[in-house]
A and B are shown apart, each in its own frame.
Chain A
Amino acid sequence: AQTVTQSQPEMSVQEAETVTLSCTYDTSESDYYLFWYKQPPSRQMILVIRQEAYKQQNATENRFSVNFQKAAKSFSLKISDSQLGDAAMYFCAYRSPPYNNNDMRFGAGTRLTVKP
């Protein structure tokens, strides 16, 4: 099974600064999808950003962007102009293609603290 590794259990950033969360994954598949989900204290899982493996262009959603390195199997999340509301657990996730289970596996998470 595919594995997802988040090597930073905790990260801290000053408000208005930029922070990068790391994620690596292991797979033999060529088609797949990658995601970052945010889990605030409410525990709701909220989609932050998605990336299709066949797309070379890095995904961007407002202040959130990714650095997708397919050969290195790396998928980092950059949060620019950090806000207090960005404080949460962030989970990196890998989803297999529809022709192969199509299940989604998560990393262990990174807890982000935003300092005012």
Chain B
Amino acid sequence: DSGVTQTPKHLITATGQRVTLRCSPRSGDLSVYWYQQSLDQGLQFLIQYYNGEERAKGNILERFSAQQFPDLHSELNLSSLELGDSALYFCASSATGANVLTFGAGSRLTVL
């Protein structure tokens, strides 16, 4: 157990639907990162939050949004889902001053 908790582990939904993925960082970590990994692909950086504020944004689609709440958990919202959104979505967290990211187990999204 890495200490980063992601829910749900698996999610199957239909095109056009909206889903929310949740991430609880390791205790004390202020930074949260979201990545998307499509089948047999690398990890694509989506977005980063630090203590509730957006810090950096990668290749995140306009249909996707995220936020980090005062208790430091984060949610990634995916709307108007398309088949190509099927992927493994990782959350990672990092402590202030630490250079390592600790990853959760991922949420596998399947869009039918």
Contact = CB atoms under 8 A, between A and B. Distances in A.
B45 A44 contact: no
Interface string A100-116: 01111111110000000
Interface stretch (A45-53, A68-76, A79-87): A45-53
Given A91-B42, A103-B45, A103-B48, A33 B103 contact: no
A45 B103 contact: yes
A78 interface: no
Given A33-B99, A45-B90, A98-B97, A103 B56 contact: yes
Nearest to A98: B97
A47 to B, nearest CB: 6
Given A95-B99, A106-B43, A43 B106 contact: yes
Contacts of B88: 43
Contacts of B50: 102
Interface residues of B, number: 26
A101 B90 contact: no
B105 interface: yes
B3 interface: no
Given A95-B101, A108-B42, A109-B41, 19 more contacts: A33-B99, A43-B37, A45-B43, A45-B90, A45-B92, A47-B102, A91-B42, A91-B43, A98-B97, A101-B48, A101-B55, A102-B94, A103-B33, A103-B56, A104-B101, A105-B58, A106-B42, A108-B41, A109-B42
Interface of A: 1, 33, 35, 37, 43-45, 47, 50, 52, 91, 95, 98, 101-109
* 6 A-B pairs with the lowest CB-CB distances in the bound complex, closest first: A45-B103, A101-B56, A108-B42, A103-B56, A33-B99, A106-B43
